[in-house]
DNA sequence: TGGAGTTGCGCC
DNA sequence: AGGGCGCAACTCCA
């Protein structure tokens, strides 16, 4: 196992020793120290991984373990099984005020400018958090959760540092083919402009700007197209000559504005797309991204993600992550049985629970999202009898939410509370009862999904945390820059950039890490988490089976 | 003019 | 009257 030893030196420098190599890194007197509470596995404790780790990575230092005080404080403060009074004390209010450090893609940022926040006592806060965890009835699970949350933060910074290998020439060729040559600033590219002309011609609306929703809707109606909005799905439902060019226009306009030349200018440097992640950026614990749209970059440009010469991309995704997680956390052995194999939905068909794969998918997604009507709603009713524990768990989460209660993930992350006034003081302004009921149900759908989405995010965190260590060990004989490394993480999918000779070994580690994650979370009930793995030169070549 | 809110897209 | 997120552009209003 990789060992990182750290020691503070005078002159605001830190010495980092790792596998025989020693680095000195300049830092200021900031909230950070090395905890040797578990002497075999020293842990760098700091206020914010996004503040500390980028400059360390830039100095060539890889950190094996950390405890991210900001992320974990937030997590513990919202965890139902943690006594909030144990998080109170010196500087507690300041810790609560911390916001994620600004993305440090080019210049490392060690100072926020707010002196009080820049010099907090990391050791004091660390002790407080550990005590809060120790006192919790859910201590074991919370320990796993804070370790995974912190490891995820390390992985996020490492992925930003490494970047996705990006071929600007491939991307630009694709743009030119679909849109025409790069236009001057403010103008539409040629093929997009021609597409807009097609729309104007068919609608007989010469001055129309197809980007203006109200104008477009009015023009559509004048031409006899009966739609209530301009959404693609609404347009597809009508039969009119404008539909084809308009859908084509929307698709091209989206490519141009979201992943066009401007996106390249802003996000690709030195042949790398450096996505910026926010671990636990969403309420469920899923990551979000505030740079380059890393978690939503469209299939349209994935062909530009190309491995370096002699390297490959190993792409792995989990089929039906959330249904599998639901089976594990509810202890539903029938659903876990259907999950034994590559296709959970097909497993449900084979077990005779449902007629078709599509019905299985509709029913499960409907249960997790709270569908009440249509095909999906009907399937939920039937499947509830077959899988009472799994479907009962999300149903109970929904009812708890409707009562205004907090729900939690398997490892103990708590949902936000329902803001607003519906359950507050009786002398609040009398709100519309119908509106209150609508909000109550809406919150119930949120808590229903929260338990599954949030536990799915926990599985993924454990997967990534274990994987980054495995990849590090795998490349231990190579130089720092020759090691296989994570470059992208998309909720239930990862991309590893690896020397071609290590592709098979990486694929094996991906699967091992998935198995480990499943055992960590669902010790008592083993659930399969089969991966679809592709070894490719370009991300666009990766197999994308339906989920 | 600039910020907040809305719409619609696309990723999971 | 199906969950989460980011982003870009338009719209509205101070």
Per-residue pLDDT reduced to its tens digit, A448-496: 999 999 999 999 999 999 999 999 999 877 666 789 999 999 999 999 9
Same-domain pairing of A384 and A437: yes
pLDDT at A461: 98
Half-sphere exposure of A347 (CA within 13 A, CB side): 19
- Tens of pLDDT, residue by residue over A418-439, are 874 343 333 344 567 777 888 8
CB-proximal positions of chain C, under 7 Å = 1-12
In this structure, what DSSP letter does residue A525 have?
S
Which protein residue has its CA closest to C1' of C6?
A: A293
Same-domain pairing of A254 and A194: yes
pLDDT at A366: 94
Q: Is residue A150 included in any domain, yes or no?
A: yes
Same-domain pairing of A131 and A212: no
Give the CATH number of the domain where residue A233 resides: 1.20.1060
Nucleotide nearest to A231 (CA to C1'): B8
Rounded to the nearest 10 degrees, the angle between the axes of helix A357-369 and helix A388-402 is 30
Same-domain pairing of A247 and A359: no
- Tens of pLDDT, residue by residue over A219-261, are 999 999 999 999 999 999 999 999 999 999 999 999 999 999 9
Query: Who among residues 369-408 of A has its Cβ near strand C, under 7 Å?
Result: 369-374, 376-377
- Tens of pLDDT, residue by residue over A357-372, are 999 999 999 999 998 8
Q: Is residue A45 included in any domain, yes or no?
A: yes
pLDDT band at A30 (very low <50, low <70, confident <90, very high): low
Same-domain pairing of A179 and A129: no
- Tens of pLDDT, residue by residue over A463-475, are 999 999 999 999 8
Q: Is residue A318 included in any domain, yes or no?
A: no
pLDDT at A148: 98
Same-domain pairing of A48 and A103: yes
In this structure, what DSSP letter does residue A428 have?
S
pLDDT at A526: 82
Half-sphere exposure of A113 (CA within 13 A, CB side): 3
- Tens of pLDDT, residue by residue over A511-526, are 999 999 999 999 878 8
Ordered strands of the A4-9 beta sheet = A4-9, A13-18, A21-26
User: Which of A121, A138, A161 lies at the terminal end of a domain, its last residue?
Assistant: A161
Same-domain pairing of A32 and A149: yes
Same-domain pairing of A142 and A103: yes
Tokens linked to A352: 């005779």
Q: Is residue A341 included in any domain, yes or no?
A: yes
Does the pLDDT value for residue A88 go beyond 90? yes
Higher per-residue pLDDT: A20 or A141: A141
Q: Does residue A435 lie within 7 Å of nucleic acid chain C, judged by its CB?
A: no
pLDDT at A543: 76
Mean pLDDT of chain A: 89
Does the pLDDT value for residue A94 go beyond 50? yes
The integer distance in angstroms from the CA atom of A496 to the C1' atom of C2 is 33
The integer distance in angstroms from the CA atom of A161 to the C1' atom of B12 is 23
- Tens of pLDDT, residue by residue over A144-160, are 999 999 999 999 999 99
Sorted by sequence, the CB contacts under 8 Å of residue A23 that are 6+ apart come out as: A15, A16, A17, A59, A60, A61
Tell me the CA distances in angstroms from A143 to A30, A119, A315, A411, A499, one per residue in order: 25, 26, 30, 9, 34
Residue indicated by tokens 């309420």: A283
pLDDT at A547: 57
Tokens linked to A111: 């100072």
User: Which of A451, A479, A503 lies at the terminal end of a domain, its last residue?
Assistant: A451
Cα A84 to Cα A230: distance, rounded to the nearest angstrom? 48
The integer distance in angstroms from the CA atom of A217 to the C1' atom of C14 is 28
- Tens of pLDDT, residue by residue over A161-213, are 999 999 999 999 999 999 999 999 889 999 999 999 999 999 999 999 999 99
Same-domain pairing of A31 and A137: yes
pLDDT at A35: 85
Q: Does residue A545 lie within 7 Å of nucleic acid chain B, judged by its CB?
A: no
Domain limits for position A361: 333-451
Same-domain pairing of A128 and A178: no
Same-domain pairing of A199 and A119: no
Q: Is residue A1 included in any domain, yes or no?
A: no
pLDDT at A24: 67
Query: Who among residues 481-540 of A has its Cβ near strand C, under 7 Å?
Result: 491
Q: Is residue A362 included in any domain, yes or no?
A: yes
Query: Who among residues 311-370 of A has its Cβ near strand B, under 7 Å?
Result: 317
Higher per-residue pLDDT: A208 or A38: A208
Nucleotide nearest to A547 (CA to C1'): B12
Does the pLDDT value for residue A81 go beyond 80? yes
Nucleotide nearest to A209 (CA to C1'): C10
- Counted domains in chain A: 3
User: Which of A248, A265, A282 lies at the terminal end of a domain, its last residue?
Assistant: A265
Q: Is residue A127 included in any domain, yes or no?
A: yes
Q: Is residue A462 included in any domain, yes or no?
A: no
- Tens of pLDDT, residue by residue over A269-298, are 999 999 999 999 999 999 999 888 889 877
Q: Does residue A213 lie within 7 Å of nucleic acid chain B, judged by its CB?
A: yes
Query: Who among residues 214-243 of A has its Cβ near strand B, under 7 Å?
Result: 217, 229-233
Nucleotide nearest to A445 (CA to C1'): C3
Does the pLDDT value for residue A332 go beyond 60? yes
Nucleotide nearest to A295 (CA to C1'): B11
Nucleotide nearest to A297 (CA to C1'): B11
Same-domain pairing of A191 and A127: no
CB-proximal positions of chain B, under 7 Å = 7-12
């Amino acid at each position: 196992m990789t060992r990182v030893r750290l020691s503070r030196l005078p002159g605001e420098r830190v010495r980092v020793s790792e596998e025989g190599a020693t680095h000195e890194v300049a830092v200021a007197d900031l909230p950070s120290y090395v905890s040797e509470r578990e002497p075999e596995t020293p842990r760098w404790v700091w206020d914010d991984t996004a503040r500390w780790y980028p400059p360390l990575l830039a100095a060539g230092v890889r950190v094996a373990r950390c405890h991210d005080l900001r992320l974990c404080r937030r997590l513990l403060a919202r965890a139902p099984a943690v006594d909030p009074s144990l998080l109170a004390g010196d500087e507690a209010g300041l810790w609560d005020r911390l916001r994620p450090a600004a993305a440090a893609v080019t210049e490392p940022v060690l100072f926020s400018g707010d002196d009080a926040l820049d010099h907090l006592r990391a050791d004091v806060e660390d002790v407080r958090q550990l005590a809060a965890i120790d006192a919790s009835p859910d201590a074991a699970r919370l320990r796993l959760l804070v370790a995974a949350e912190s490891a995820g933060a390390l992985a996020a910074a490492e992925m930003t540092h490494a970047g996705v290998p990006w071929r600007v020439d491939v991307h630009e060729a694709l743009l030119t083919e679909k849109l025409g040559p790069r236009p001057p600033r403010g103008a539409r590219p040629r093929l997009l402009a021609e597409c807009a002309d097609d729309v104007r011609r068919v609608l007989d609306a010469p001055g129309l700007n197809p980007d203006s929703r109200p104008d477009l809707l009015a023009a559509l109606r004048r031409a006899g197209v009966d739609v209530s909005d301009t959404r693609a799905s609404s347009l597809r439902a009508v039969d009119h000559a404008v539909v084809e060019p308009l859908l084509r226009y929307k698709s091209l306009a989206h490519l141009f504005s979201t992943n066009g030349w401007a996106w390249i200018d802003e996000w690709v440097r030195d042949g790398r797309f450096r996505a910026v992640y926010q671990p636990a950026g969403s309420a469920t614990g899923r990551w979000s991204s505030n740079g380059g749209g890393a978690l939503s970059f469209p299939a349209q440009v994935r062909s530009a993600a190309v491995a370096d010469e002699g390297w490959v991309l190993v792409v792995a995704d989990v089929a039906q992550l959330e249904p599998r997680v639901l089976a594990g956390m509810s202890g539903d052995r029938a659903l876990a049985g259907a999950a034994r194999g590559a296709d959970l939905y097909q497993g449900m068909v084979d077990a005779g629970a449902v007629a078709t794969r599509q019905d299985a998918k509709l029913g499960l997604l409907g249960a997790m999202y709270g569908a009440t009507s249509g095909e999906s709603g009907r399937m939920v009713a039937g499947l509830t009898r077959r899988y009472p524990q799994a479907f009962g768990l999300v149903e109970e989460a929904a009812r708890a939410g409707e009562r205004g209660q907090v729900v939690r993930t398997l490892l103990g992350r708590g949902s936000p509370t329902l803001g607003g006034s519906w359950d507050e003081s009786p002398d609040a302004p009398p709100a519309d009862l119908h509106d209150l009921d609508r909000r109550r149900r809406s919150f119930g759908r949120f808590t229903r999904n929260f338990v599954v989405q949030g536990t799915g995010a926990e599985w993924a965190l454990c997967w990534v945390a274990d994987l980054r260590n495995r990849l590090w060990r795998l490349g231990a004989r190579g130089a720092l820059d020759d090691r296989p490394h994570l470059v992208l993480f998309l909720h239930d999918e990862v991309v590893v950039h690896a020397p071609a000779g290590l592709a098979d070994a990486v694929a094996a580690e991906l699967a091992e890490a998935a198995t480990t994650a499943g055992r960590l979370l669902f010790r008592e009930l083993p659930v399969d988490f089969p991966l679809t793995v592709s070894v490719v030169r370009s991300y666009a070549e990766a197999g994308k089976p339906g989920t």
